């Protein structure tokens, strides 16, 4: 499985946008980019995923570089409830459909 690299931690202020980066230089053409977040003592929560084009949903936006070697998860207006560990994961579009988690980014949101 292709690997991703994320900063260990980031800080943000409440009501400001947050850009969470992810590098995946060995991504293959069929790999989907998935983002999940996990609050303490809870299971992960799906945030967004995409293949080549930028994606938007009610939770966040996903900006994918043209060469697909990096992506950015954008939280448009951080709230205290967005404090979590954010995982960027590549999922093969082939027969193997399992998700392999990396270490993620711990996002702290200051009031």
Binding-site ranges for other proteins (CB under 8 A): 34, 36, 38, 41-49, 87, 97-104
Q: In whole angstroms, how close is the CB of 87 to other proteins at the nearest point?
A: 7
- The number of residues making up the chain comes to 111
Q: Closer CB to other proteins, residue 63 or residue 106?
A: 106
Q: Closer CB to other proteins, residue 90 or residue 104?
A: 104
Strand partners, 20: 73
Q: In whole angstroms, how close is the CB of 46 to other proteins at the nearest point?
A: 4
- The H-or-E segment that residue 64 falls in is strand 61-64
d(CA 49, CA 2): 16
Strand partners, 71: 22, 64
Q: In whole angstroms, how close is the CB of 108 to other proteins at the nearest point?
A: 15
Contact between residue 99 and residue 89 where contact means Cβ atoms under 8 Å apart: yes
């Amino acid at each position: 499985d292709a690997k991703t690299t994320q900063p260990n931690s980031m800080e943000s202020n409440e009501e400001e946008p947050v850009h969470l980066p992810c590098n995946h230089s060995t991504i293959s053409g069929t790999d989907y980019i998935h983002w999940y977040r996990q609050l303490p003592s809870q299971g992960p929560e799906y945030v967004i995923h995409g293949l080549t084009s930028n994606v938007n949903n009610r939770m966040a936006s996903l900006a994918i570089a043209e060469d697909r070697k990096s992506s950015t998860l954008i939280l448009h207006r951080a709230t205290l409830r967005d404090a979590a560990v954010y995982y960027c994961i590549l999922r093969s579009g082939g027969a193997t459909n399992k998700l392999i988690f990396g270490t993620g980014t711990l996002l702290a949101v200051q009031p």
